[in-house]
Amino acid sequence: MTYFLQNFVNALQWGSFYALIALGYSMVYGVLLLFNFAHGDIFMVGSYIGFFVATGLVGLSAVGVITLPYWLILVLTILISMILTAFVGMLVERVGYRPLRDAPRASAAITGLMIGVILETLNLIMLGAERYKFPELLQTEIYELGGVSVTNKKIMIVFVSLLLMYLLNLFVMKTKWGMAMRAMAYDFAVVPLMGIPLNTIAALTFGLGSALAAAASILFGTAYPVMDPYMGVTIGWKAFVAAILGGRGSIVGAAVAGFILGFIEIFSASVFPSTYRDLIAYSIILFILVFRPHGLFGQEHTSKLRL
Amino acid sequence: MNKRILVSILLLLVLSVLLAACGGGGNDVIRIGINAPLTGDNPKVGEGTKYAAEMWLEDINAAGGLEVGGKMYQVELVTEDNEYKAESATKANTKLITQDEVLLIIGPQSSQQAVPAGGVANDNKTPMISPWSTNPNTTLNRPWVFRTPFLDPFQGPVVANFATEQFGATKAAVLYDVASDYPKGLAEFFKAAWEENHGAGSVVAFESFTTKDQDFSAQLTKIKESGADFIFTPQYYSEVPLIVQQAHELGWDKPIVGSDSWGSAELVNLCGDDCDGLFFSTHYAAAGATGATKAFIDRYNEKYGYVPDDVGALTWDTLLLAQQAIQDCGEITGDLAVDRQCVRDALANIKDFHGITGDMTFTPEGDPIKCAVIVRISDAGEFEFFEQVCP
C-alpha cells in the first residue's frame, strides 16, 4: 500500500509538468488549428530565463541591495519568467506563425520544428554546452507519512500547478479576452468580422501558453535542477502526446490527460520491468486513441476549444 | 576568347588539384585526429579532451616539433565534434581518415561512440586510441583499435568487492541507462560479479531508464522497496545529481556507488551536498597525487582554472602513447598506409609505459593492464583517494 501511495505521489508531481505543458499545445490548437512544435523549447527558454532571474535576485539579496526571503524570490522568479517567456512566445508567433497563417498546415508545423532548433542552437551558442544548475530556492524538507516520503517541493509543485490551471480556467471563462478566445475557437473565419482582433487574440494565446510553460519550467527546475539546451525536447513531445490524448483543443482534456500520462508512465515502471516503461505506457495510449480517436475530451468534427 | 577562358579554368583546376595533393601528403607535417564530444550531453568530457590535447601540442611546439628518426615534424591536431552521438562519431572518424588524412585518431571518449567509431577506424586500417572507453567491444577483434583505460569486466568486480567489504552489503540494486553502451555493459558486468559472490538473486533490483530521462522516482521507489543495501549507478555527471537527489527525497539514506563516469568536476557543482561521502571507482585521484601526475594537474589547473577530470589525464597519457608509437616507428615515409601500419605495430609493442594514470602494457587485444582506484567525494567536494585495486 505504501508502495502504491509513494508512486501515486511521484505520479502527481510528474503529471503536473505534462499537464502544464500540454495546456499550451491545446490552447494554440484550439484558436489557430495548428500545433506549436516549438513549445518544448519555449519550456527550455523559460527555464533559462528563470535561472537568470533567480540568480540575479539571489545575487542582489546577497550584496544587500534588496533583502528578500527565498520563498519570495521563488514567487518573483515564477512571475517574472512567466511574463518574459510570454513575450518570447508572442515573438515566436509574430515571426514564425503569423506570416504563414494562410499557408498549408504542414508548413506551419515545420516552422515550429525549425524555431525549436533555432532556440536550442541559439542557447548553445550564447551559453555554451555546459550544464547549469538551477538555484536551490527551496530548502528540501522530507516528511515521512506512514512510510511515504513527501517533500515540500512535491507539495508546492502540485499545488501551484493546480492553482495555475484554476486561474487559466477563470481567465478563459470569466473575462472578455477569454470569451474572445473561445469565440475564435468556435469559428475562426467569422469572429474577426465581429470586430475581434485576430492577431491580438493569437498573440495572447501564445503568450498564455508560453507563460504556463515558463511556470512549469521553474517548478521543474526546483525538482530536477540540471539544465541543458535540449531539456525541453523529450518532455515537449510527451506533453504533445498528452494534448492529443486529452482531445485537441480541450483545456480540461489537456490538464487531465497530462496527469493520466504521468500516472501511466510511473505505474508502468513500478509494476513492469522499467526497461519496458515507454513501450507499455505508449501502447496503452495508442490503445485509448484507437477507441477514442478524438481524445478523451475532444469533440468529433468540431475539435475546438471546449470547456 | 571562350577557349582561352576554358583553358585558364582547366589550368586552375589542375593547379588546385596539385596543390591539394601536396597539402594532403605534406611531408613534414603529422596530422593527428581528435574525435571528441564538444557539444551534446557531456560537453565537459569534450572540453577535458581538448584542453589536454592543447597542452600536449604546446609541449611539442615548444620543442620545435616532433622528432622522428632524426627529422623534425610539425604536428597538427584536427578536432572533430561528435556531439556525443554514435552516428556523428562514425562520421567524424570517416572524415578524419579520408578527408583530413590523419595518421591516427585519438577518441572517441565514451563507449557509446567509441564502439561504432572503432569499427570505422579498423575497416579503414587507421590506428585509433580511445582514452576513456571501458566497454570491451571497443577493441574486440579490432587490431587497429587501442585504449588507455582499464576495462569494465575489471571495473565491475572492483566495485562489487569494494561494496562487499566497505558496507558489508549482501543485497545490491543497480540503476542504469539501457540505451547507452557503457552503463549497460558495466551494469551487467557488475551484476555478474555480484551474483558470483553472493549467489543468484542477490541483485534485488536491476532497474533501467533511457537516455534523457529526468524522473527516476518510479525506479527508485522500487529499489527502496527491494531492501537493497546500496545502489550502484554507472551514469554520467549530468544524470548522477538527479538520481542521487531524487533517491534522498524518497527517503533513501544508504550508500550510492558509482563508476569512472562520475569523475567530473561538474558532478560536484551540479550535485551540491547530496553527493558528499559517496564512493566511485576511477582511473586516478586528483587530490593527493604526486610526481608527474601532480605536475600535470597543477599545470592544467593553472591554465584552465579547475582540476582536470580523469578524461583529461587519460587523454594526456593517450597522446604521449601516440607520441611514443610514432617515434618508435623511426621513419615517416609520407605514404599514409605504410605509416599507419607502422604506428599500429609500434603501439601493439609498447611495454611498461609510465603514464600519469598508471603503468600500462598492452594485451594483444589492444587493452592495457592497469590498476583502478576508489575515490571518496569529501565534504568539501574533492575527489579523495580511498584505496587502490590492482588486477
In a domain, B367, yes or no: no
Instruction: Indicate the pLDDT class of residue B181, thresholds 50, 70 and 90.
Output: confident
Q: Is residue A76 part of a domain?
A: yes
Instruction: Say what the pLDDT of residue B10 is.
Output: 63
Name the residue in chain A with its Cα closest to that of B252.
A149
CATH number at B66 reads: 3.40.50.2300
Asked if B200 and B265 sit in the same domain, the reply is: yes
Cα-Cα-Cα-Cα dihedral sign, residues A62, A66, A71, A73:
negative
How many CB atoms sit inside 10 A of residue B81's CB? 20
A16–chain B Cβ distance below 8 A for any pair: no
Q: Pick from B208, B242, B245: which is nearest to A275 by CB?
A: B208
Flag whether B3 is in a domain: no
| Site of grid cell 589542375 | B14
Mean pLDDT of all residues in B110-118: 93
What is the arithmetic mean of pLDDT over B15-36?
A: 68
Q: What is the pLDDT of residue B288?
A: 75
Cα A210 versus chain centre, distance: 7
Distance from chain centroid for Cα B212: 21
Report whether pLDDT(B9) > 80. no
A238: confidence class by pLDDT, cuts 50, 70, 90: very high
With bands split at pLDDT 50, 70 and 90, how would you rate the model's confidence at A47?
very high
User: Shortest CB distance from B218 goes to which of A7, A149, A234?
Assistant: A7
Task: Looking at the complex, report in whole angstroms how far the Cα of residue B180 sits from the nearest Cα belonging to chain A.
Answer: 13
**The predicted structure's pLDDT at residue B69:** 86
Amino acid identity at B294: K
**The pLDDT of residue A81:** 96
B347 φ/ψ angles, rounded to the nearest 5 degrees: -60, -45
Report pLDDT for B216.
95
The reply to whether B233 falls in a domain is: yes
- Using the predicted structure, report yes or no on whether residue B14 has a pLDDT greater than 80: no
Same domain, B113 and B228: no
Cell 569529501, located at residue: B378
Average pLDDT over residues A98-122: 88
> Is residue B189 domain-shared with residue B61, that is, in the same domain?
no
Q: What is the pLDDT of residue B359?
A: 85
Could you tell me the CATH number of the domain that includes residue A190? Answer: 1.10.3470
The answer to whether B308 and B286 are in contact (CB under 8 A) is: yes
Cell of B289: 597525487
pLDDT at residue B128, rounded to an integer:
96
Mutate to test the interface with A, among B214, B226, B240 (most CBs of A within 10 A): B214
* A138 pLDDT higher than 70: yes
Helical ranges in chain A per DSSP H: 2-32, 39-63, 70-92, 105-127, 152-174, 176-186, 198-223, 231-246, 251-271, 277-291
Element (H, E) at A133: strand A132-133
Mean pLDDT of all residues belonging to chain A: 90
CB contacts < 8 A, A to B, total: 93
Are B176 and B129 in a shared domain?
A: no
Q: Is A129 on the interface with B (CB under 8 A)?
A: yes
Confidence of residue B381 (pLDDT cuts 50, 70, 90): confident
Q: Is A9 a residue whose pLDDT tops 50? A: yes
Q: Please tell me the least confidently modeled range out of A250-259, B20-29, B266-275, B340-349.
A: B20-29
**pLDDT at B256 exceeding the cut of 70:** yes
- Asked whether residue B304 falls in the same domain as residue B349, the answer is yes
**Is B207 within 8 Å of chain A by CB?**
yes
The pLDDT score that the predictor gives to residue B20 is: 52
Answer whether A67 touches B (CB < 8 Å).
no
Which chain B residues are within 8 Å of A136, Cβ to Cβ? 272
Question: Which chain B residue's Cα is nearest to A275?
Answer: B208
> What pLDDT is attached to residue B70?
86
Q: What percent of chain A has pLDDT over 90?
A: 64
Averaged pLDDT for residues B279-298: 88
Residue A206 included in any domain: yes
pLDDT of residue B12: 62
Report the C-alpha gap between A126 and B345 in whole angstroms. 45
B39 and B50, same structural domain? yes
Beta strand B256-258 with B279-282 is parallel
Residue A97: CA count within 13 A, CB half-sphere: 27
Q: At what angle do helices A70-92 and A198-223 cross, to 10 degrees?
A: 140
Using CB atoms, which residue from B207, B214, B221 is nearest to A224?
A: B214
Residue A302 has a pLDDT of 52
Q: pLDDT averaged over chain B?
A: 90
Q: What is the mean pLDDT of residues B283-309?
A: 89
Res. B97: pLDDT tops 70 = yes
Q: Has residue B2 been placed in a domain?
A: no
Does a structural domain hold residue A42?
yes
In-domain check, residue A250 = yes
Kindly indicate the confidence band of residue A243, based on its pLDDT and cuts at 50, 70 and 90: very high
pLDDT at B22: 46
Query: Rounded mean pLDDT of B177-201?
Result: 93
Residues B309 and B163 in one domain: no
Residue B15 lies in a domain: yes
Q: In this predicted structure, what is the pLDDT of residue B105?
A: 96
Q: Which domain holds residue B100?
A: 8-149+291-360
Residues B18 and B74 in one domain: yes
Q: Does an H or E element contain A145, and which?
A: strand A142-145
CB contacts, 8 Å: A228 with chain B: 41, 238
Q: What local confidence, expressed as pLDDT, does residue B23 receive? A: 45
- Say if B212 is an interface residue toward chain A (CB within 8 Å): yes
The 10s digit of each residue's pLDDT in A247-279 is 878 889 999 999 999 999 999 999 888 888 889
A35 touching B, CB under 8 A? no
Residue A7 in domain: no
8 Å CB contact between B371 and B391: yes
Best mutation target among A8, A122, A130, A237 (most B Cβ atoms within 10 Å) is A130
Chain B contact for A7, CB < 8 A?
yes
- Please say if the pLDDT value at position B6 is more than 70: no
Q: Per-residue pLDDT averaged across B350-371, rounded?
A: 86
pLDDT at B116 exceeding the cut of 90: yes
Check residue B201 and give left, alpha or beta (phi > 0: left; psi -120 to 50: alpha).
Answer: left
Amino acid (one-letter) located at B102: V
pLDDT tens sequence across A194-214: 888 989 999 999 999 999 999
Buried b (16+ CB within 10 A) or exposed e, A252-262: bbbbbbbbbbb
Q: Is residue B340 domain-resident?
A: yes
Whether B221 sits inside 8 A of A6 (CB atoms) is yes
Query: Count of CB atoms within 10 A of residue A99's CB?
Result: 10
Mean pLDDT value across residues B4-24 = 59
**Strand, coil or helix: what is A226?**
strand
**Residue B142 belongs to a domain:** yes
Q: Which residue of B has its CA nearest to A134?
A: B270
pLDDT band at B24 (very low <50, low <70, confident <90, very high): very low
In this complex, which of B43, B215, B251 lies closest to A129 when CB atoms are compared? B43
pLDDT digits (tens, 9 = 90+) for B369-380: 888 999 999 998
- Do residues B113 and B231 share a domain? no
CB B270 within 8 A of CB B241: yes
Residue B79 lies in a domain: yes
Enter the ipTM.
0.90
**How many domains does chain A fold into?**
1
What residue numbers bound the domain in which A274 lies? 20-291
B135, B70: one domain: yes
- Are B141 and B156 within one domain? no
Q: Which residues of B touch A268 (CB under 8 A)?
A: 218
Cross-chain residue pair B218–A140, CB shorter than 8 Å: no
pLDDT tens digits for B203-252?
A: 999 999 998 899 999 999 999 999 999 999 999 989 999 999 999 999 99
What is the arithmetic mean of pLDDT over A32-39?
A: 89
Checking DSSP bridges between strand B256-258 and strand B230-232, what pairing results, if any? parallel
Per this entry, what is the length of chain B?
391
Q: How many independent structural domains does chain B possess?
A: 2
Q: Same domain for B16 and B137? A: yes
